[in-house]
């Protein structure tokens, strides 16, 4: 199995970068990044990454940066981490100046060619951790993702070689908190996708349970799109949903099949369910009160207490509201208990979808310190 790698910058990432000259050339200047020992130790002991240090040291070995001023601090850094159980399998040091345009200098990959062996290394699921935008460009050049410890977003901007937007697109996390970095690496994004084609519908859905509410939804039913958008936005999930259904017949197949597929995708994305809260919401919307309780316990069930006096809301038949949530429970293998009361029918169903989204967000939330199965049965 190919190995995932954490390519970790040194100055500004593991140790604080000395101000003014940015040169760690004495023990007096050595100061470690806050929380780095605690969480690097957890990363090393709990996660399956190869640890590789990659650092640019401008002019190392020249009069401006003699080697004998570099190694005492470098050896101290390595020794301190080893005492905490953090061992770097490789340490790559580029000694050139920026104007030399060396292939070995970050963001170029000349020192790291061995990691392009796809049988040995999984660069797609690897990360570059660093405090300079050039570290993030290195991630792009490796085909990996970046974790940006951005105290100064413009640091290194004068050395980037490609468009800034292309670099930003490779950044998976921006944080200066090593606890957040550890949690991000431990709780990797739960992303899954599904294609479901029948004689009645063609459906593609991509779901990121740990997203930020970015949606791209087109089912051919405007009000259905609006309701599905509530799930993504209020559930902090990224949803791409593309549906071509037999709307010339009616709405039934499009709505039913979309929710079956979405439910199946939730079940798939949850994976082993370790650390999830499992249960989850009640919220008001003007005159209405909507309540949605969920249990991702592995069994499908729906309790429904919501009546609608209109035949349609937008382009959706109200008779389909019960059916679409029933379809979701069948696919997701979860229990849903849904209640709503109020006078405005639009508010009532929108309140249900918002409460549903919040219930999903609550139930799929994970705790990195409690990565066990929330069940006395030992399975969900």
Active-site residues, by number, are 9, 11
Extract the tokens encoding 340. Answer: 């709503």
Instruction: List the structure tokens of 194.
Output: 């599904």
Longest dimension (CA), the chain: 84
- Comparing CA positions, the residue from 112, 138, 104, 101 lying closest to residue 13 is 138
- For residue 175, with 0-12 CB atoms within 10 Å meaning exposed, 13-18 middle and 19 or more buried, which class applies? middle
Residue 276 region by backbone torsions, left for phi larger than 0, else alpha for psi between -120 and 50, else beta:
beta
What's the DSSP call for residue 162?
S
Strand, helix or coil at 257?
helix
Which helix H or strand E contains 355, and what residues bound it? helix 345-364
Q: Give the residue among 142, 135, 94 at the shortest CA–CA distance from 117.
A: 142
Contacts of 330 (CB under 8 A, 6+ apart): 260, 263, 300
Closest CA to 182 of 30, 80, 34: 34
Q: How far is CA 62 from CA 59, 66, 96, 97, 274, in A?
A: 6, 5, 10, 10, 52
**Structure tokens given for 38:** 């605690």
Supply 31's token pair. 């100061």
Contact 290, 355 (CB under 8 A): yes
Helices (H), 84-221: 133-142, 164-168, 178-186
CA 276, 279, 284, 288 dihedral sign is positive
Structure tokens that stand for 354 in this block: 């918002």
* Pairing label, strands 127-130, 145-148: parallel
DSSP string, 75-138: HHHHHHHHHTT---SEEEEE---GGG--TTSTTS-GGGGGGG-TTTB-GGG-EEEESSHHHHHH
């Amino acid at each position: 199995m190919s190995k995932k790698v954490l390519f970790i910058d040194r100055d500004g990432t593991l140790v604080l970068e000395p101000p003014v000259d940015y040169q760690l050339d004495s023990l007096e200047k050595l100061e470690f990044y806050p929380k780095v020992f605690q969480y690097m130790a957890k990363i090393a002991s709990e996660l399956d990454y190869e640890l590789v240090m990659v650092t640019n040291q401008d002019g190392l070995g020249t009069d401006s940066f003699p080697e004998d001023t570099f190694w005492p601090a470098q050896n101290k850094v390595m020794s301190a981490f080893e005492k905490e159980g953090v061992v770097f399998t490789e340490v790559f040091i580029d000694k050139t100046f920026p104007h030399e345009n060396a292939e070995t200098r970050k963001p170029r990959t000349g020192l790291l060619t061995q990691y392009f062996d796809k049988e040995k290394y999984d660069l797609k699921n690897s990360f570059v951790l660093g405090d300079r935008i050039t570290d993030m460009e290195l991630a792009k050049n490796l085909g990996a993702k970046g974790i940006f410890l951005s105290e100064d977003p413009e640091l290194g901007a004068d050395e980037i070689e490609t468009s800034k937007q292309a670099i930003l697109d490779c950044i998976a996390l921006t944080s200066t908190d090593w606890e957040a970095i550890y949690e991000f690496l431990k709780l990797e994004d739960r992303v899954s996708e599904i294609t479901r084609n029948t004689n009645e519908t063609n459906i593609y859905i991509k779901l990121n349970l740990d997203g930020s509410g970015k949606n791209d939804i087109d089912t051919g039913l405007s009000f259905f799109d609006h309701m599905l958008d509530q799930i993504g936005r209020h559930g902090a999930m990224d949803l791409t949903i593309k549906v071509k259904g037999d709307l010339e017949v009616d709405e039934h197949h499009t709505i039913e099949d979309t929710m079956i597929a979405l439910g199946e995708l939730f079940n798939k994305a949850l994976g082993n369910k370790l650390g999830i809260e499992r249960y989850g919401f009640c919220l008001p919307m003007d005159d209405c009160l909507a309540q949605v309780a969920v249990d991702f316990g592995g069994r499908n069930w729906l309790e429904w207490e919501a009546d609608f006096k209109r035949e349609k809301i937008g382009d959706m038949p109200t008779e389909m509201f019960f059916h679409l949530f029933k379809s979701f429970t069948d696919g997701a293998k979860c229990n849903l208990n849904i209640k709503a009361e109020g006078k405005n029918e639009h508010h009532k169903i929108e309140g249900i979808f918002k409460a549903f989204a919040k219930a999903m967000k609550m139930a799929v939330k994970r705790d990195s310190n409690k990565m066990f199965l929330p069940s006395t049965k030992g399975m969900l």
